[in-house]
Structure 1
Amino acid sequence: MRLAPAIAPRWLPASAAPRRSGGPVHALPVAAFLLLGLGPAPLPAQQPAADARPDIFLDCEGDLCDPDYFRTEIPWVNWVRQRQDADVHLIMTSEETGGGGRVYRIDLLGTADAGYEDRLVHTAQATDTDRETLDGIAHTIGIGLLRFASESGFGQLVEFVEMGGAEADPAARVVSGTEVEDPWNFWVFSLRGTPRITGEKTRSVRRVNLNASASRVTPDWKSSISIWTVMIRTEIDLPDGDVYLDDFRAYGTDHFLGYSLADHWSVGVQSQVRTHRRLNQEVRAQISPALEYSFFPYEEATRRALTVLYQLGPSYQRYNEETIYAETSEVRWKHLMEAELSQRQPWGNTSLTLSGSSYLHDSELRRLSLSGNAVLRITRGLEIRGDGRIAWVQDQIYLSAKGLTEAEALLNIKERAQSFNYTLGITLAVNFGSIYNNVVNNRMQLGPLSFN
């Protein structure tokens, strides 16, 4: 259920505000909006020039981060390319809701010594189109920027125009799940099918993905179940005239149930049944109870999070081929501990995950992995991006005693014995020139030249 706001901002200079022929515009001072109790603490009085605009640095990545759209819809501010040139650092993060929608959190951080801070939230429903979601995000960002503009002396740039009748509620908002009667009891169901064909004269790949899932999320409980299958047929014409043919099929079901045990504690159980040809597993069934502790409140997870997770449980494997340990099937207990740190701050974004696991029957069969990514703003115009992962592997109890054929090794059909694996990437970016980023020009968006 979505309620319309009682007032809507007009992104217009006050001098150019339209007038209705049927009567005067009900212009609402920005201060009246702030009296609703929604605004942050005021900044010290320092009036900018009459024709000045606030400088905004947009910091967002991932789902529906569309700077061009926001610049087009909110043209009454200056969008700058460097945080050091901004009056406000605008950080947008998001996370999925239980109903398949998404919550977008907009944080506005003043870059001056006064320490301006504000947060707004937009909730997009699962049925919203990208345009509807972008409109909602832009509207929410606009409201936040209006608050800042009013507090810091830019209020002359905009005015509010009343929409709706006298019964409109200025405190209207999206109603939370606990405040509605839901005939589905918060369950969300999804059915998906994805056929895909790619090929050329000497090679073709046909793939079909099928998935059915159900999930339910409340403030206390979180549960999900999914059933899936993947079918892939690969045909390759070899230089000697032979044809390589591979038919791959995989099936599985995944389940999860979690409970909010306390402010910083969560408990749950995860289970899975699946096939996995690459790991020589005809059938794998596993159940793992889990306990998690969060050092920060869960509500802050989109901006900062530090969690420690522990899992312990048995798994049953029936193998396609006898393993290097002379097993055709076995039950083994395994435990895992994982620590994850992530944050999004004015100086950049970081995420780091450390994970270790081992089998209980033999502690020498273990795995340790470290992964992370970071975006660090060193100074004005200088940014370093990096991501990487390294794992030390000593737990491949599933390897086939027969080994691999040349084709299986080249096409990565079966996993080979290894002691470690890694990936690493670093990008150094230097930007300089005009500080402004207001212009949007969508003409002639050409791709790279092709010489085929």
Structure 2
Amino acid sequence: MRGAPASSGCRGSARVAELGRASGRWGLRGCFAIVGALVAVGGTWVDAHSQQSRPNVFLDCREARCNYEYYRTEIDWVNWVRDRQVADVHVIMTAQGTGAGGREYLFDFIGTDEESPYSHRHSYKSNPTDTDREVLDALANTLALGLGMFANESGYRGLATVVALETGQPEGLVSPDEVDDPWNLWVFRIRGEAGMEGESTYRNVGLEGNLSAWRTTPTWKFSISGGVGHNRLRIDLSDGTFRDNRTRWNVDSRLVYALAERWSVGVIGSTGRFLSYNLDYRLALTPSVEYSVFPYEETTRRSFTFVYGITGMYHDYTERTVYLETEETRYEQMLEIRFNQRQPWGSAWFGTSGTQFLHDTDLYRVSLWAGASVRIVRGFSVNISGNVSWVRDQIFLSAEGATDEEALLRLQQRPTDFDYGMEVGFSYQFGSIYNNVVNNRLRPRR
């Protein structure tokens, strides 16, 4: 079954609609149709209304599929504006992963007229096998459906009309009772990659492979993935040639159970070889519990979670550590708090995490991170993000330390008491507020 946009306004018909643009015409199959947006004259489509009769639309999107040029080309019966303060409708686009490996895209349509509040949500679920063009087409269709409904309900009645079609099951779709899934919701993925780069005095060759499997239901979520990689590095220096050949591998798994509406429990396991951390072999198991302040259904717009867990780990070291250990078993407790919010004014997030070894409470790590992207005034926005960690838990450090070459190439961890990062930026845009024109001539290379 192909993914399709869904709307809360479609009832009794699997809540599915599909809007397509073919041969220069908009068509809709499922719950709604948009008609009257364009007028056919002699086989050529022309605008039916002046630019002033169109709603101003501000698209707020930070996802991978934010192809503004494509949306402006396909939906040319609205005014696309660059500033939300002059928009009639603010569209916030977010996304989250699905159990099958696809993505669920959510469109929140928020009217800006305080006297006539408007709020609607539409969604589209893509399949993991969909091509970029198929996903873009479906996203444009979902966006057009939402804008058509807004235009119809907000007084732009000569521009677009939303017509409810038959409420029977749309053609080509099946109900959950009719699905016979031989894979029982299991999804598998195999990935391989090889690459090389170099010049006269430098060469780097890498090979990587990965196998993953997962199964997601409303109550249970399980995933497991494993990978192996090999790198061969050669650099010619003034006093000789530096070579580094290393192989890494890892297996990670996660089992989560929905204990209650806002409570989850799970177990996270990992094992592997991580030479940068002086680990020839590592095995770790972390039972944990999570509480969500907000319903999980609101995660794409706001989330506030608390996670606590205890990790049991076994380390087999490549070299003797600064604590004179070649192997050891340790236990560590962990607490993590995360907050994310995305609103018409922008987005903000912050979090903190702490870990502490139980055999020695002086060995710990505390991390803080925060950021915001805020529109201050018309056309002016500020972005700021930062993180800092206090590090006291490097029990894996090699007693021999890192060589100068390993330090310069960051191939080996070195002692530190802290790490940090910060970014600050701003954007100010002025001039025409309209953003309807698309010109794809002599485009820059991507």
TM-score (norm 2): 0.88
In the alignment, the residues of structure 2 paired with residue 17 and residue 343 of structure 1 have an alpha-carbon distance, to the nearest angstrom, of: 47
The CA distance in 1 between the partners of 2:392 and 2:233, in whole Å, is: 31
1:389 alignment partner, SS class: strand
Which piece of structure 1 moves more, 169-178 or 107-116? 169-178
Residue 138 of structure 2: aligned partner: 136
Deviations 1:228-280 (A, max 9, x none): 0111100111123x221110110111111001111000110000111111111
| Aligned counterpart, 1:220 | 219
Q: CA deviation at 1:221?
A: 0.6
Whole-angstrom distance in 1 between the partners of 2:352 and 2:72 = 39
Q: Which residue of 1 aligns with 2:23?
A: none
Match of 2:403 in 1: 405
3-state SS in 2 of match to 1:274: strand
Counterpart for residue 56 of structure 1: 57
Q: CA deviation at 1:182?
A: 1.2
Q: Which residue of 1 aligns with 2:156?
A: 154
Deviation at 1:180, TM superposition (A): 2.7
Distance 1:174 1:397, change over 3 A: farther
RMSD of aligned Cα (Å) = 2.5
TM-superposition CA deviations, 1:264-317 (whole Å, max 9, x none): 001100001111111111111000001000011101100110001111121000
1:290 partnered with 2:288: yes
The answer for the alignment partner of 1:444 in structure 2 is 442
Task: Structure 2: give runs of 5+ residues left out of the alignment.
Answer: 5-17, 19-28, 44-48
3-state SS of 1:16 partner: strand
- Does residue 121 (structure 1) correspond to residue 145 (structure 2)? The answer is no
Indicate the SS of the match to 1:156: coil
2 CA distance for matches of 1:258 and 1:429? 41
Cα separation, 1, equivalents of 2:175 and 2:347: 30
What is the identity, as a one-letter code, of the residue corresponding to 1:85? V
For the residue of structure 1 that corresponds to 2:250, the secondary structure is strand
Letter of the structure 1 residue corresponding to residue 127 of structure 2: Q
Q: How many residues align?
A: 417
In 2: Cα distance, 1:50 partner to 1:408 partner: 62
| Aligned mates of 1:401, 1:266 — CA distance in 2 | 41
Tell me the residue number matched to 1:206. 205
For residue 335 of structure 2, give the secondary structure of its aligned residue in structure 1.
strand
1:70 aligns with 2:71: yes
Partner of 1:302: 300
Q: 1:368 — aligned with what?
A: 366
- Asked whether the equivalents of residues 12 and 76 of structure 1 are also in contact (C-alpha less than 8 Å), the reply is no
Relative to 1, partners in 2 of residues 1:116 and 1:17: Cα closer, same or farther, differing over 3 Å?
A: farther
Aligned to 1:433: 431
| Alpha carbons 2:308, 2:335 under 8 Å: kept | yes
Does 2:40 match 1:16? yes
| Aligned 8 A contact 2:152 2:161 in 1 | no
Residues 273 and 176 of structure 1, relative CA distance in 2, 3 Å threshold:
farther
Map 1:339-354 → 2, pairs under 5 A = 339-354=337-352
**Distance across 1 between alignment mates of 2:126 and 2:433:** 32
CA-CA distance at 1:11 after TM superposition: 7.3
Letter in 1 for 2:288: A
Answering whether residue 80 of structure 2 is matched by residue 79 of structure 1, we say: yes
Identify the residue that residue 191 of structure 2 maps to in structure 1: 192
Q: Which runs of 5+ in 1 are unaligned?
A: 20-47
State the identity as a percent.
43
Say if 2:284 and 2:314, in contact at 8 Å, map to a contact too.
Answer: yes
Query: Residue in 2 aligned with 1:312?
Result: 310
Per-residue displacement from partner, 1:322-353 (whole Å, max 9, x unpaired)? 11111111100001110110111000011212
Structure 1 counterpart of 2:110: 109
- CA 1:179–1:415: 2 relative to 1, 3 Å: farther
Output one character per residue of 1:183-213: Cα deviation in whole Å (capped at 9) or x when no partner.
1000000111000111111111101110001
Q: Which amino acid aligns with 1:367?
A: R
CA distance in 2, matches of 1:238, 1:351: 44
TM-score, length-scaled by structure 1 = 0.87
Within 1, Cα distance between the matches of 2:144 and 2:70?
A: 12
Specify whether residues 67 and 50 from structure 1 end up closer, same or farther in structure 2 by C-alpha distance, changes over 3 A only.
closer
Indicate the structure with greater strand content. Answer: 2
1:356-407 deviation line (CA, Å, top 9, x unaligned):
1110111110001112332111111110012221111000011111122111
Q: Which moved more, 1:334-343 or 1:49-58?
A: 49-58
- The 5-angstrom pairing of residues 157-168 of structure 1 reads 157-159=159-161
* Paired letter, 1:287: L
Q: How far is 1:111 from its partner?
A: 1.1
Structure 1 counterpart of 2:69, one-letter code: D
Give the CA deviation at 1:181.
Answer: 2.6
| Alpha-carbon distance change, 119 to 385 in structure 1, aligned in 2, over 3 angstroms | same
The aligned counterpart of 1:36 is none
